[in-house]
Every structure is written in C-alpha cells, then in structure tokens.
C-alpha cells in the first residue's frame, strides 16, 4: 500500500511548482555522549560531575542549522547564537579546535564546497557528493504537516573523521599498546576508535520534491526531514517555502582551497603532531600550537 501512497505523492509534488521550488528548513541537532566511558579508567563519574560536563558541552552537542534550498542548490549552515555557557578555557579550546562552516551543495554538478576551521586556520574544502545506496522501507510517519518515509543506508567512515569517534571498550584499551605508568596520563588517542562504517537512517517527504537534506546527505526523492547518523539526530522543526528574505545560495569563498583528500591529510598530520607532543611531554597537558604562517 505504501508504494501507491509514495507514487501518488511523487506525482502530485513534482507536478506543482517543481521547477521553481525553494525554501528554508530549520533542523535541531542533538548528539549523545557516553559520559561513563569518558572516565578513562580513573573511576566512575559522580552524577554531579556528569551534570556539570553535560552543561558545559550543551552548546556543542545541541545546535540549530538552516538549509536554504532550491531545486538544484543548497546552503547549509549553523544558526548563529550567543553562547553564554561558562566553560574552562582549555576545554573550550579543545572543543573549538575544529569548527565546520557553511556548506554548499550543487546537485546538478554533484559538488560540495564547505568552509572548515581547523586549529585556527580556514580551509575551503571541495568534494563530490557521496551517493549512498538508499533502501526505502515500508515505514512512514507524519513529521509536522508532511508524510515522511524511512530510508536506510550504510556509510563508510573516513578514518580521520573524529566526529565519529567512540570510546574503546575496557578490554580493547588494555590491549591497545604498552602498559603506562599509573601516574602518566593515558594518550587520548589510545582511548578512542573510529568505526569503519555506520548505518544512516533518513525520513524524507516527497511533498517537497528536492533531492536534498542536511549536511552532505542527498539522493532521496524528497527533502530529508529527519536524519539519524551514529550518535547524532537532526530533526526538522520548521519549513518556510518560497521565503522572500532567504539567504542567497552561493558557494562559500573563505579559506585555503583544498580537496577533501588534501584536507584529510592535513588533519591526519596535525593530529599525529599533537599526539607526538602529548607523548613527549609525558601527558602533562602541553599542547601543540596552531598552524604556522
């Protein structure tokens, strides 16, 4: 039965202003963190400690994004907010060492251009849209005033994508390297792992006939209204169709132009440098600086 509903919605949607469609979708993002696994083997956190850390990380784990789109292009960026959350300066510096900026997608050319700030240096990263092998299921649900259909896909994870990092299990930590003196702080890189692949779940609506969605995701027969990627959920909270005062959709231009491969190499080299500095300092918290030049 769902096939007929989907076909009907596709027929109706693509027949109504499909060529001139434009809009803005607002997404609420929430990422979960296993605070128990962040103890690093130094004892479990108290509930008060968990509450304090959760409050400190709230601005990082809960964000609002805006997708401005038309039939062929989109601009995806975080909504600017004043963050008044008190935070330890060093902790804040670590969280802000990587800051994603505006992301432009062109569905016709298959290109993505995005601004990324990494340890104080601005990069303009160019990549191709990675087409996932979406499997549309029989499940559907209402999201706001729209009917959304569920689709799933398996995504290969870049080994340098630390947004996908997860704490290693206890036995994996014990077997990950040489034994360290108990007085020496454990190398953070020995405490995490990055999965090779993850499952992505999207809920899309053919009532808005654009093959687009938040972030890098696209390729479904309708706008993605909800997205679940590993520990992060993005849920569309508001849609404004054909807005008069929407931001102009154009590629970002700020930063050193690099390909995705070049950018990943820079991230890997900088991460290895910071890890070496950490090990040479005996884990006393000394950090390497930003980029030279």
User: What span, in angstroms and rounded, lies between the C-alpha atoms of 291 and 178?
Assistant: 31
Taking 70 as the threshold, does the pLDDT of residue 180 lie above it? no
User: What span, in angstroms and rounded, lies between the C-alpha atoms of 158 and 71?
Assistant: 29
User: What span, in angstroms and rounded, lies between the C-alpha atoms of 210 and 24?
Assistant: 12
Mean pLDDT, rounded, for 114-133? 92
Query: pLDDT-derived band of residue 3, with 50, 70 and 90 as boundaries?
Result: low
User: What span, in angstroms and rounded, lies between the C-alpha atoms of 33 and 233?
Assistant: 12
Going by their DSSP bridges, the two strands 73-78 and 62-70 should be labelled as: antiparallel
Residue holding tokens 């569920």? 150
Mean pLDDT, rounded, for 262-268? 89
Spell out the residues 6+ positions from residue 61 whose beta carbon is closer than 8 angstroms to its own: 30, 31, 32, 33
What is the pLDDT of the chain when averaged over all its residues?
78
Mean pLDDT, rounded, for 3-7? 56
User: What span, in angstroms and rounded, lies between the C-alpha atoms of 38 and 229?
Assistant: 21
Backbone angles phi, psi at 229, to 5 degrees: -125, 105
Taking 60 as the threshold, does the pLDDT of residue 20 lie above it? yes
Q: What are the tokens at 195?
A: 């999965």
Residue holding tokens 């792992």? 193
User: What span, in angstroms and rounded, lies between the C-alpha atoms of 115 and 137?
Assistant: 34
Q: Give a three-class secondary structure readout of 227-292.
A: EEECCEEEEEEEEEECCCCCCCCCCCCCCEEEEHHHHHHHHHHHHHHHHHHHHHCCCCCCCCCCCC
User: What span, in angstroms and rounded, lies between the C-alpha atoms of 261 and 251?
Assistant: 19
**pLDDT in the model for residue 35:** 56
The better pLDDT of the pair 7, 32 is held by 32
Percent of the chain with pLDDT over 70: 63
Single out the residue of 141, 160, 164, 165 nearest to residue 151, CA to CA: 141
Taking 60 as the threshold, does the pLDDT of residue 129 lie above it? yes
C-alpha angle with apex 52: 47 to 57, nearest 5 degrees?
A: 125
Taking 80 as the threshold, does the pLDDT of residue 206 lie above it? yes
Alpha-carbon dihedral of residues 274, 276, 282, 286, nearest 10 degrees?
A: -20
Highest-scoring range by mean pLDDT, 15-19, 96-100, 205-209, 287-291: 205-209
Radius of gyration of the chain measured on its C-alpha atoms: 21
Taking 90 as the threshold, does the pLDDT of residue 268 lie above it? no
CB 102 within 8 A of CB 109: no
Taking 60 as the threshold, does the pLDDT of residue 241 lie above it? yes
Of the given ranges (31-35, 171-175, 224-228), which has the lowest mean pLDDT?
Answer: 171-175
Residue holding tokens 């040489």? 178
Mean pLDDT, rounded, for 96-102? 67
- Please count the other Cβ atoms lying within 10 Å of the Cβ belonging to residue 243: 12
Percent of the chain with pLDDT over 90: 44
């Amino acid at each position: 039965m769902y096939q007929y509903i989907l076909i009907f919605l596709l027929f109706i949607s693509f027949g109504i202003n499909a060529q001139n469609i434009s809009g803005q979708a607002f997404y609420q993002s929430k990422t979960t963190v296993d605070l128990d696994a962040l103890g690093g083997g130094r004892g479990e956190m108290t509930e008060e400690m968990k509450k304090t850390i959760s409050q400190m990380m709230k601005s990082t784990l809960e964000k609002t994004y805006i997708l401005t789109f038309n039939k062929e292009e989109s601009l995806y960026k975080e909504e600017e907010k004043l963050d008044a959350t008190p935070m330890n300066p060093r902790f804040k510096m670590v969280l802000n060492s990587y800051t994603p900026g505006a992301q432009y997608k062109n569905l016709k050319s298959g290109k993505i251009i995005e601004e990324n700030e990494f340890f104080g240096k601005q990069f303009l990263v160019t990549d191709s849209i990675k087409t996932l092998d979406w499997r549309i299921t029989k499940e559907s649900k209402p999201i706001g005033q729209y009917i959304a259909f569920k689709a799933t896909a398996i995504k290969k994870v870049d080994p340098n994508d630390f947004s996908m990092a997860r704490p290693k299990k206890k036995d994996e930590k014990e077997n990950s390297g040489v034994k360290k003196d108990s007085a020496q702080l454990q190398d953070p890189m020995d405490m995490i792992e990055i999965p090779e692949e993850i499952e992505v779940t999207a809920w899309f609506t053919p009532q808005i006939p654009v093959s687009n969605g938040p972030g890098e995701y696209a390729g479904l027969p309708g706008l993605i209204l909800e997205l679940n990627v590993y520990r992060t959920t993005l849920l569309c909270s508001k849609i404004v169709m054909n807005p008069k005062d929407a931001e102009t959709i154009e590629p970002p231009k700020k930063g050193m132009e690099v390909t995705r491969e070049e950018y990943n190499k820079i991230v890997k080299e900088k991460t290895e440098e910071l890890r070496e500095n950490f090990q040479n300092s005996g884990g006393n918290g000394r950090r390497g600086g930003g980029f030279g030049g």
